[in-house]
Amino acid sequence: MNKLPTVLITGASSGIGATYAERFARRGHDLVLVARDETRLNALAARLREENGVAVEVLPADLTRAADLAMVEACLRDDERIGVLINNAGMPQVGGFLTQSAEAIESQIALNVTAPTRLAAAVAPRFAQSGSGAIVNLGSVLGFAPEFGTTIYGATKAFVLFLSQGLHQELSSSGVYVQAVLPAATRTEIWERAGVDVNTLPEVMEVGELVDAALVGFDRRELVTIPPLHVAERWDALEAARQGLMSDLRQAHAAARYQPQA
């Protein structure tokens, strides 16, 4: 019997999600693969079973649909074998803010914000009760780069980072590990869906390198893993500045520069 925790991966039919599936299968983990494309999921599952001798369950679902999201939530709540959740499913922003339809905005927030939050909420109580488990949320460096012009996408990824940091604060004392992975440009199908030729971009990381780096962070139990960041001290400095800002905000009165002039 496989004593390693089963890993549930969303957005698992291609790109980062499929690569996570390959890597965890090599480690001997059974898998639950979630995505919309059942044909691709089945093909991936068959290959991973044959190559690694692990059990792979396919769970076709569109996480922007309430019924499908509820189905995956139920799986996470009820299947005690699942000990790792990889919240990877997401969609890009197509065009600028002024060109977005209400439907496009709603779908992006549903997939990039609502789905990972609800899936984490579905599994966290069980993990906390057992004193183990891991939640990995795929964000993006665009979550702190508004100047790149992907306002909605970047905002959803900023949410993912904050969600991960908040979950860490609430769950770490119960033995639950939370990781935020923040890729930069990575060679996946998301660019084609956004109408961008990835070959025109100056620097793009290969998906295998991205996931392998993320797993190094996972094994080290990092809270925030930024695979393209060479100077780790820059993130440390940003965190230190944030903590300093927080100390300045604990004040009962408005700052002098905002006081009415006599």
Q: Say if CB 57 and CB 31 are below 8 A apart.
A: yes
In this structure, the number of other CB atoms found within 10 A of the CB of residue 234 comes to: 11
Distances (CA, A) of 36 to 14, 64, 68, 145, 163: 11, 10, 10, 29, 24
20, 153, 177, 258: the active-site residue: 153
CA distance 119 to 138: 13
In this structure, the number of other CB atoms found within 10 A of the CB of residue 146 comes to: 12
CA distance 186 to 159: 20
CA distance 262 to 242: 33
Q: Say if CB 120 and CB 163 are below 8 A apart.
A: yes
Question: Does 258 qualify as catalytic in the annotation?
Answer: no
Q: Among all residues, which ones are annotated catalytic? A: 153
